[in-house]
Amino acid sequence: EAGVVQSPRYKIIEKKQPVAFWCNPISGHNTLYWYRQNLGQGPELLIRYENEEAVDDSQLPKDRFSAERLKGVDSTLKIQPAELGDSAVYLCASSLENPDSNTGELFFGEGSRLTVL
């Protein structure tokens, strides 16, 4: 079974440029998460989807970040315009159920490392 697939793995852009990340979750997983992880820190949730609905986007900087999950399957995360402080690893994860369930185990992709110059 294929895991969570993310692309690109690495992206280097200049500040003020746009960037987009793509995620394809494990087949059948209804819940999809986007996290941002800075070096030496734990992941921080940006947005959580239940199917195509964004159920928690309270930590998403909506002035420059946007996300979508069309048809409740794959998802894209966009930053426009990027700032120096956006340099981080952007992780996508999926789960079969919500985190309260013992089957709500999160499966992560390899991440997309963004460097903003």
Partner 1 sequence: KNQVEQSPQSLIILEGKNCTLQCNYTVSPFSNLRWYKQDTGRGPVSLTIMTFSENTKSNGRYTATLDADTKQSSLHITASQLSDSASYICVVSAWSNYQLIWGAGTKLIIKP
Which residue's entry shows tokens 């420059």?
A: 64
Segment lying near partner 1 (by CB under 8 A), choices 11-19, 38-46, 61-69, 78-86: 38-46
Single out the residue of 86, 109, 114, 116 in contact with partner 1 (rule: CB under 8 A).
109
DSSP assignment, residue 85?
G
Name residue 106's amino acid.
L
Single out the residue of 28, 42, 53, 63 in contact with partner 1 (rule: CB under 8 A).
42
73 is an interface residue for partner 1 by CB under 8 A: no
CB atoms within 10 A of CB 30: 16
CB atoms within 10 A of CB 26: 17
Q: Which residues bind partner 1 (CB under 8 A)?
A: 4, 40-45, 48, 56, 91, 93, 98-100, 102, 104-111, 113
